[in-house]
Amino acid sequence: MNTAFFVAADWLAEHIDDPEIQILDARMAPPGQEHRDMAGEYRAGHIPGALFFDIEALSDRASPLPHMMPRPEAFAVAMRELGVRQDKHLVIYDEGNLFSAPRAWWMLRTFGAEKVSILAGGLAGWQRDEWLLREGEEAHEGGEFEAKFMPQAVVRLTDVLLASHEKTAQIVDARPAARFNAQADEPRPGLRRGHIPGALNVPWTELVYEGELKTTDELNEVFFSHGVSFDRPIIASCGSGVTAAVVVLALATLDVPDVTLYDGAWSEWGARTDLPVEPA
């Protein structure tokens, strides 16, 4: 039985005590709101039983780039310490904007977890349906997690440079149009304006409605309206690798093959003065 990409709040409330379900709180502060204490917000109120999946803390701390994937063994150790069991059905939620839950979904899937879903509507939807929250930390036993890294899910700068130059794949940039078109500064300092030459812009917010993906027909229309072909390889990118995962998730729900994620994203490309950008 295939695991659903999304589960509803009433379904989760009904199954919240199911021993085969494990809930992960993947709330994350968007760029420009780094002052927020997300661990503190988790302790102030979370879905009962949820463990805090801290994307920042779980990223590669040795990399100068934000949110980079950690080494498989480091991720596995962190998951076991957190209490995550990869044999369970993992249900992830974020604030309700579908900003960060897809990144957590993608990380877990790329490291070998097979049963991973996202809570439709996130925490906001849970509260809107008047389900209760719990304060403090959650007691948990040690987890069981063996990372089975899928390297084919991730591409590096050299792969993207080749795709840009040789047109071997479509580069789909999930940033807002103003940033893509060099009409607005990046929220992170030290980055140039613009985009990777040849990239297509599909702002991630166009794929989302009230904390979940739009309908299949609507998603198809969004991608097609921006010139994306499902018959050619796709590399998803964004500012730092987070909202690119929204693109990956949307394409997965459409059964689009050959989709990868550029983990360095514009944080890497835009910081390099030796790489081409558009508009020039």
For residue 149, the SS3 value is coil
99 residue type, one letter: F
The 10 Å Cβ neighbour count of residue 86 is 22
Pairing of strands 212-213, 154-155: unpaired
Phi, psi of 205, rounded to the nearest 5 degrees: -65, -20
Phi, psi of 72, rounded to the nearest 5 degrees: -55, -45
Burial 200-220 (b: 16+ CB within 10 A, else e): bbbbbebbbeebbbbeeeebb
Give the chain's count of helices (H) and strands (E): 11, 12
The 10 Å Cβ neighbour count of residue 62 is 9
Residue 155 makes CB contacts below 8 A (sequence gap 6+) with 163, 235, 260, 261, 262, 263
Catalytic residue among 113, 120, 207, 238, which?
A: 238
Q: Which residue has the tokens 């803390």?
A: 57
Q: Residue 63 and residue 278: Cα distance in Å, rounded?
A: 26
130 residue type, one letter: E
Q: Residue 256 and residue 212: Cα distance in Å, rounded?
A: 18
Catalytic residue status for 238: yes
Catalytic residues: 238
